Structure 1
Amino acid sequence: MDAIDRRLLTVLETDGRASFAQIAEAAGLSKTPCWNRVQALEEKGVIMGYRAEIDRASVGLPLLAFIDVAIDLGRHEAFEAAVAEVGAVLECHTTAGPFDYVLRVAVRDVGALDDLLRAQLSRLPGVKNFATRICLKTVFQARPLMANAGS
């Protein structure tokens, strides 16, 4: 990846709806070479997709929580397959330390969070225990990667 690819990624990360003319201008290219480079970055998996950021509260899911989950040894594969099917789970990451996973979930309220914990997450394969933290305020999220990616 060279400096031009990095400029392309910076523009796309800031505005995924930018036109190829805008992207090309920022990268110092004409439209066709710009399009070819973006296609190559997509094919390599550097660009994983494009999406709209949606305000959780606007769609009835204002409560954000982080759930640390400890799993029985040998049950990780089954847990990962099962947790991927739980719609309220936005992200699932393996971690080092006393817990094996951290989940980021969005729900409508504390009652829905309680239902999620008791009726769904506690019953997933291998779950030993979990600890939940409710987010009171998001200071920032989805910080651009390219600003910190170096050259």
Structure 2
Amino acid sequence: MGCEDGVRAAVRRYCRGVDRMDETLLRQAFHPDARIRMGDAVDGGVDDLVAFLWRFLPRRAMTMHYACDVLVEPVGPTAARAETYGFAVQRGPDLVTGFRYLDHLVAHEGRWVITDRTTTTEWVSTDHPAPLPPGVPTGIRTHPTEGTR
């Protein structure tokens, strides 16, 4: 996998791992010796990040991370820097945050992994959604028409 695709894949592994509370997938985004900084909440390694997230995430009904713009700057054939702009939607309580990931990555054991990450929060918005109309499907994991043919 090329540098840019590999870096984007690492960012996606992290986002999907958080949203699904899939610790294995989340860990696959990082080098085992990665350093991670997330404000006052995390300043340490992957174990520290997982410990924080697994205390925080169960209090949320759901999270959805959107990694929108990823600028990748190769630093030689096996290293890169990346800056990712995105936002995360959280339910229970309802919250939307705009963030940036400032990452250093390397090619390691066949995939690109994050060796150093600083997460910044750019903005926060609370949301008080209106109730959905009756009968609108939510939280389903299959297509609504499966099994109807």
TM-score band, normalised by shorter chain: under 0.3
The structure where helix makes up a greater share of residues is 1
Report the TM-score, using the length of structure 2 for normalisation: 0.22
Work out which structure has the larger RCO, using CA pairs closer than 8 Å and 6 or more positions apart in sequence.
1
Q: Larger % of strand: which?
A: 2
State the TM-score, normalizing by the size of structure 1: 0.21
